[in-house]
């Protein structure tokens, strides 16, 4: 299969890079890094083995991309308004578009904009950052969960999963809503709290007061998920997420890095959408609604 990566940063660049390093046919759409990557390649420093892709199938403009079987989208969701224009140039009727993004509701909005598009969701559990042009640092974990949203060709999904596993990526499949809400159990507390308190995941869990607050926020996400009909999430999952984070390399999540570097934060899909979806199902996310308000304040007053 031929792959395209749109948004070749810390996440898209890592997983696309893994596929290319394993010999898969991968095209990368690049913006500010285009000239650098063409000259120096794409470098991944990884806890699971460093590698350098050089040469790279790099494209500056989506119009130049060949039509691909699978498009991996690693854009931040603040740029999702660009997706229909980009995808119309690379995605045909049989193309599968995989959103490797944080939040809830992105697939719904993209499907409304492009009704015939075949879409899957992907949730990454990874500590990875872009630390320079064409340079990704992968510090810990690195699994990917794939969930079907509107893909008609399930054989293509199976091939994608197989290619990812062959490239060294720990890959799972899950029900769509379970996958999105399960990731939100970690994302909603840790992303916002590291910004609001100007701290890291390790410091949040080292302090008894914030550790308890993180647990309460996780339980609120689980309550919202249950109200929306998602089964399989309970207190034991929250405890497991906290225990896993205890073992994690001290880490600043993507929202914290965006805020520190003056970039827009992904508040809409990480907070506003799931809070509204839960409210429509009769569940109020009071703690996380307060955190959303704090993030809006910080975003508007930086």
Domain of residue 27, CATH code: 3.40.50.720
CA distance 244 to 242: 5
Supply the range of the domain harboring residue 101: 2-174
Is residue 238 located within the same domain as residue 152? no
Is residue 205 located within the same domain as residue 291? yes
Q: How many domains does the chain fold into? A: 2
Structure confidence at residue 45 (pLDDT): 97
Structure confidence at residue 250 (pLDDT): 82
Is residue 165 located within the same domain as residue 279? no
What is the CA 32 to chain-centroid distance, rounded? 20
Is residue 6 located within the same domain as residue 77? yes
Please provide the size of the chain in residues: 302
Q: Match 């696309």 to its residue by tokens.
A: 16
- Is 165 a catalytic site residue? no
Structure confidence at residue 19 (pLDDT): 98
The model's pLDDT over 135-152, given as tens digits with 9 standing for 90+, comes to 999 999 999 999 999 999
Structure confidence at residue 210 (pLDDT): 98
Cross-strand bridge partners of residue 100: 122
pLDDT tens for the chain, 302 residues: list them: 999 999 999 999 999 999 999 999 999 999 999 999 999 999 999 999 999 999 999 999 999 999 999 999 999 999 999 999 999 989 999 999 999 999 999 999 999 999 999 999 999 999 899 999 999 999 999 999 999 999 999 999 999 999 999 999 999 999 999 999 999 999 999 999 999 999 999 999 999 999 999 999 999 999 999 999 999 999 999 999 999 999 988 878 999 999 999 999 999 999 999 999 999 999 999 999 999 999 999 999 97
- 3-state DSSP assignment of residue 68: strand
CATH number at residue 187: 1.10.1040.10
Catalytic choice (76, 156, 183, 252): 183
Tokens describing residue 287: 């703690």
Tokens describing residue 210: 């914030």
């Amino acid at each position: 299969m031929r792959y395209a990566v749109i948004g070749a940063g810390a996440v898209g660049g890592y997983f696309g890079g893994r596929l290319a390093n394993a010999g898969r046919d991968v095209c990368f759409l690049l913006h500010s890094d285009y000239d650098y990557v063409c000259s120096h390649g794409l470098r991944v420093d990884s806890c699971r083995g460093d590698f350098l892709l050089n040469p790279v199938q790099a494209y500056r403009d989506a119009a130049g991309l060949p039509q691909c079987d699978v498009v991996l989208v690693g854009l931040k969701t603040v740029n999702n308004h660009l997706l229909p224009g980009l995808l119309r140039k690379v995605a045909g009727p049989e193309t599968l578009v995989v959103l490797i993004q944080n939040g809830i509701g992105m697939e719904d909005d993209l499907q409304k904009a492009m009704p015939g598009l075949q879409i899957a969701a992907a949730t990454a559990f990874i500590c990875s950052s872009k630390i320079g042009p064409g340079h990704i640092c992968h510090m810990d974990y690195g699994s990917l969960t794939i969930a079907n949203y509107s893909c008609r060709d399930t054989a293509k999904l199976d091939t994608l999963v197989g290619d990812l596993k062959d490239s060294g990526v720990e890959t799972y499949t899950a029900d769509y809503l379970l996958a999105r809400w399960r990731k939100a159990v970690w994302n909603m507390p840790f992303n916002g709290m590291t910004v609001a308190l100007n701290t890291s995941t390790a410091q949040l869990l080292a302090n008894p007061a914030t550790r308890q607050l993180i647990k309460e926020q996780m339980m609120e996400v689980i309550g919202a998920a249950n109200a929306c009909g998602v089964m399989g999430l309970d207190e034991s999952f929250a405890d497991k997420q906290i225990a896993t984070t205890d073992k994690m390399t001290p880490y600043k999540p993507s929202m914290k890095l965006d805020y520190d570097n003056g970039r827009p934060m992904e508040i809409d899909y990480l907070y506003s959408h799931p809070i509204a979806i839960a409210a429509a199902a009769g569940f109020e996310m009071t703690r996380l609604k307060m955190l959303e308000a704090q993030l809006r304040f910080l975003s508007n007053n930086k």
